[in-house]
Structure 1
Amino acid sequence: MKTALKILIPLAVLVVGVGAMALMILNKPKVKPEPREAPVPMVRVVRVEPQSHQFKVHTQGSVLPRTDIKLVSEVPGKVTAVSRSFAAGGFFNEGEVIVQLDQRDYELALTRAKAALAEAQVRVQREQAEAEVAKEEWKSLGKGQANPLLLREPQLAEAYAAIEFAKANVSAAELDLERTKIKAPFDGRVWTKNVDVGQYLARGEAVARIYAVDYAEIRLPIALDELAYLNLPHTSANGLAGMNGPTVILRARFGNKTHEWTGRVVRTEGEIDPRTRMLNVVARVVDPYGRETKAGEQPLAVGLFVDAEISGTSAEEVFIVPRAAIRGRDEIKLVDQENRLRLRRVEITRIEKENVIITDGLKPGELACISPLDTPVDGMLVRVSENQATQK
């Protein structure tokens, strides 16, 4: 009996539990399925209006001197003095004596040349007197045509030639004496210094490497497809283009500050670089060291690497849209009056760093969507942000 109870009681509990569960399942409330509504994305928009726009072409380059030469000695001699500015980085003016050579040998040579000239002049006077005497004697004693040799005409011509030779020697000695003063051919700066006081220089030996500072030049490579946006100067028959090219703004950072210089494109180089397939244009900045007009400002030093912004041509009645509004290559995201997204193809004339220039496909006052969308679908419903910007 006890064994039967041990078996029947658990079975009874199990049956009651199953029945209770079945009753609960049968009496549970029915769930009515409701359609799921997709969230409407919120987007930011800009209002587009036609406006004029000046294209900018960005490039980079290094600052180069206008002229870079080796200053050489035209006569041999010992260096006796140098200019106080004759040091690497020193500035000098046109005509300033940079290096002085020993003049004593050349002064002696000039004295000898002048003495020889005086002797030649005395010889001419003597020959002139003797020629006059010969003429008078022939008139008194001679008959017929006199021999030029008897009239001392060849001797007189030789004396005159000796004078010209002596004058040339004097000029050469004066020129050599002047060349002992090695002068600056232009306003410039010393790049490297090669000699100092006490050193002997041979003819043609380099004294220093110098460069001009009246203006600096910057070679700027331009991609071929960017040339359409520039009005570049054409080189004239005399090889010069002048200062009528587009304006260039140069920028470089020194520490935490950005400095700017203004110049102009003055010419283009003669060929397209075969390696980069770019055309180099040359920009010029006048007085890069501020010696005349901009004292105290940061100089545009030779060798400095700069970013350049070249002012290009202008376009009228174009739409300037942020790049975020463009989908793919030529499709723009718009929001219509019913707050629905519209995808439309437009004609893009140029893609810049932050904006896209559109010439056709938009109407004034339309709203361009600049918010990123994962899967934009034409006609989808969107919510426009209340703090929408207006394109200026």
Structure 2
Amino acid sequence: MAQESSTLANIARGLVALLILACGVAGMAAMVVYGTKEPPLVEPEPLRPPLVEVALVEPQEERLDIEVDGVVVPRREITVAAEVGGRVIGKSDVCRAGKFVRQGTLLIEIDPRDYDIEKRRLEEELKQAEATLEELHVEETNTQELVKLAEDALVLKRREIARLEKIAEQGKDYVTESQLDAERSNELVARNALVTLQNQLRSIQSRRGRLNAARDLVRANLEKAALSLERTRITAPIDGMIVRDFVEVDGYVAPGTMLAIIEDVSKSEVRCNLRMDQLYWIWNQGRNNETAPSVSGTGQDYLLPPTESTIVYKLGEQEYLWSGTLARYDGIGLDETTRTVPCIVVVDKPNEVRQQGESSASPARGPRALVRGMYVKVVAHAQLDTRLLRVPERAVQPGERGNRVWAVRPDTSGSASPNEGLLDEIAVKVISVTDEDALVRVIEGNLAPGDHVVVSPMVSADEGMRVRVVVQSENAR
């Protein structure tokens, strides 16, 4: 019985092995049969042109804004110095650093007593000189009268001698030689008296010249003394701010001692540096600028055409604006370190400030005036006579021959989709970059406002290559 059960188990295992083997053979047969069939043919999709993002080319207005950094400097500083020496007896409260003064305001007073005494002494000397001249005038008048009398007496003596000589010629004994000699002697006395008086008159006239010169010298010294007395009161020569003061009451000052420094605040200046490529546009617009200064000869070649400018000072998130004029060079030539040209912007009204977005000056919650030391931005508004275009900065690509942009032209072949076009390479020169836009001038090619230029990066690009176009949104720009 046990032997019979063992036999049945062996038969079962054999059947299972045969079944597994049969399934393996059937699988191999199926793979051989069905594996030799060819896969179905799938046609490849056609290559599509690369997708690029484009933006519109915009025209630039008739002016070009040139932005540079600058610093505010005083237009002029006046050094107030003592012109006479002495002890300081008074100092005005406004003669302090940081105070504003009006022209003519008394600042410092020097002890005037010595100069007042000198003035009064010279006034008395002048009176004495004028009195001496008056006495001389009287003496001259009297002498002139005596000269006239002496001349008349001499005439009478000569007539008497002539009458006696005529009688003697008639041979009569009425006139003797002794009488004639006596009359001739009297005539000599009268002549001598006349000559003496004439000499006195000439001496008086000579003395008059000397006394006039002495009086004029006293008068000049008196004017100098009066001027010195006046200079003991030092006043402000201009309207301005006291930058520094150097003396106090009871201090001694000598002629030339520095008393204070006053800064002229009626106008301000901004010192900035322009690159030569920026100056090109200033010079170019100056050719047609009616406000350019008229200077004969070669002097015009060394002047900067006046250019309207805006001064911008940023405080926090707010910007404050002043109107100015790019007026002149600060010296001549280029700065050796930066290779830029120093220039000066003149602000005629430094206290007229307006906030960004306002058209006229108004009280600002910020700086009320443009003062020295402010670091500002200068925007010079150059008038253009050359057409410029505004494109996104991303559209400008470097090339072997300089900068370039890729314009997308319509495909007129008729086989292109509506959103496809052909690339056109345009050589440009970048004039300036502001925010995310670049101002360019076309060097070679044709580019006009309203054209589309590529702003997205491209792996490769060739002239005439077909591309698909998607227009950049205004917000993205």
How much does 1:21 deviate? 8.0
How much does 1:43 deviate? 4.1
Query: 2:222, 2:141 → 1: CA distance?
Result: 30
Matched, 1:178 2:230: yes
Moved more, 321-330 or 245-254: 321-330
Which amino acid is the alignment partner of residue 258 of structure 1? E
Which amino acid is the alignment partner of residue 66 of structure 1? R
Bigger-Rg structure (1/2): 2
Task: Trace 1:232-311 onto structure 2 (pairs within 5 A).
Answer: 232=286, 233-234=292-293, 236=295, 245-275=306-336, 276-290=338-352, 296-297=363-364, 298-311=368-381
Give the 3-state SS of the residue equivalent to 2:458 in structure 1: coil
Moved more, 16-25 or 91-100: 16-25
CA deviation digits over 1:189-225, x for unaligned, max 9?
Answer: 1111111222211110101122211111122222112
Give the 3-state SS of the residue equivalent to 2:391 in structure 1: strand
Give the 3-state SS of the residue equivalent to 1:160 in structure 2: helix
Q: 1:106 to 1:27 in 2, by over 3 A?
A: farther
Matched-pair contact (CA < 8 Å) for 1:289–1:301: no
Matched, 1:115 2:124: yes
Which amino acid is the alignment partner of residue 373 of structure 1? M
Q: 1:126 to 1:181 in 2, by over 3 A?
A: same
Matched-pair contact (CA < 8 Å) for 1:250–1:260: yes
Of Structure 1 and Structure 2, the greater strand share is in 1
Matched-pair contact (CA < 8 Å) for 1:327–1:333: no
Q: 1:342 to 1:383 in 2, by over 3 A?
A: closer
1:366 alignment partner, one of 448, 451, 467: 451
Aligned to 1:5: none
How much does 1:47 deviate? 3.3
How much does 1:333 deviate? 3.9
Q: 1:45 to 1:166 in 2, by over 3 A?
A: same
Task: Indicate the percent of aligned positions where both proteins have the same amino acid.
Answer: 24
Moved more, 259-268 or 318-327: 318-327
Which amino acid is the alignment partner of residue 425 of structure 2? R
Query: 2:94, 2:32 → 1: CA distance?
Result: 105
Matched-pair contact (CA < 8 Å) for 2:388–2:439: no
CA deviation digits over 1:318-371, x for unaligned, max 9?
Answer: 533222222221232425354345432324254321223344512564322223
CA deviation digits over 1:116-146, x for unaligned, max 9?
Answer: 1111111112222233333344444622472
Aligned to 1:106: 115
How much does 1:98 deviate? 1.8
Query: 1:358, 1:26 → 2: CA distance?
Result: 73
How much does 1:290 deviate? 4.6
Query: 1:290, 1:216 → 2: CA distance?
Result: 12
Query: 1:229, 1:43 → 2: CA distance?
Result: 34
Query: 1:14, 1:174 → 2: CA distance?
Result: 143
CA deviation digits over 1:260-305, x for unaligned, max 9?
Answer: 11111222345212513322332110121359x9684431111212
Moved more, 359-368 or 14-23: 14-23
Which amino acid is the alignment partner of residue 208 of structure 2? L
How much does 1:112 deviate? 1.1
Aligned to 1:3: none
Which amino acid is the alignment partner of residue 382 of structure 1? R
Matched-pair contact (CA < 8 Å) for 1:345–1:361: no
Which amino acid is the alignment partner of residue 356 of structure 1? L
Moved more, 298-307 or 148-157: 148-157
2:100 alignment partner, one of 80, 91, 103: 91
Moved more, 231-240 or 299-308: 231-240
Task: Trace 1:1-392 onto structure 2 (pairs within 5 A).
Answer: 27=34, 30=39, 35=44, 42-48=51-57, 52-138=61-147, 139-140=149-150, 142-144=193-195, 146-148=198-200, 151-230=203-282, 231-232=285-286, 233-234=292-293, 236=295, 245-275=306-336, 276-290=338-352, 296-297=363-364, 298-315=368-385, 318-328=388-398, 329-334=403-408, 336-337=410-411, 338=416, 339-340=419-420, 342-353=422-433, 354-359=437-442, 360-363=445-448, 365-376=450-461, 379-385=465-471, 388-389=473-474
Give the 3-state SS of the residue equivalent to 1:236 in structure 2: coil
Query: 1:203, 1:22 → 2: CA distance?
Result: 128
Query: 1:234, 1:267 → 2: CA distance?
Result: 11
Query: 2:116, 2:239 → 1: CA distance?
Result: 29
How much does 1:83 deviate? 2.7
Matched-pair contact (CA < 8 Å) for 1:82–1:100: yes
- Structure 1 residue runs of 5 or longer lacking an equivalent are 1-8
What count of residue pairs does the alignment treat as equivalent? 387
Which amino acid is the alignment partner of residue 277 of structure 1? R
Moved more, 119-128 or 44-53: 44-53
- Structure 2 residue runs of 5 or longer lacking an equivalent are 1-15, 151-189, 287-291, 354-359
Give the 3-state SS of the residue equivalent to 2:227 in structure 1: helix
How much does 1:166 deviate? 1.5
Query: 1:46, 1:187 → 2: CA distance?
Result: 55
Query: 1:348, 1:330 → 2: CA distance?
Result: 5
CA deviation digits over 1:41-85, x for unaligned, max 9?
Answer: 654433336565422222122111121232111001222222332
Give the 3-state SS of the residue equivalent to 2:311 in structure 1: strand
Please provide the CA RMSD for this pair. Answer: 4.0
Moved more, 296-305 or 236-245: 236-245
Q: 1:311 to 1:100 in 2, by over 3 A?
A: same
How much does 1:226 deviate? 2.0
CA deviation digits over 1:153-183, x for unaligned, max 9?
Answer: 2333222222212211210111001111112
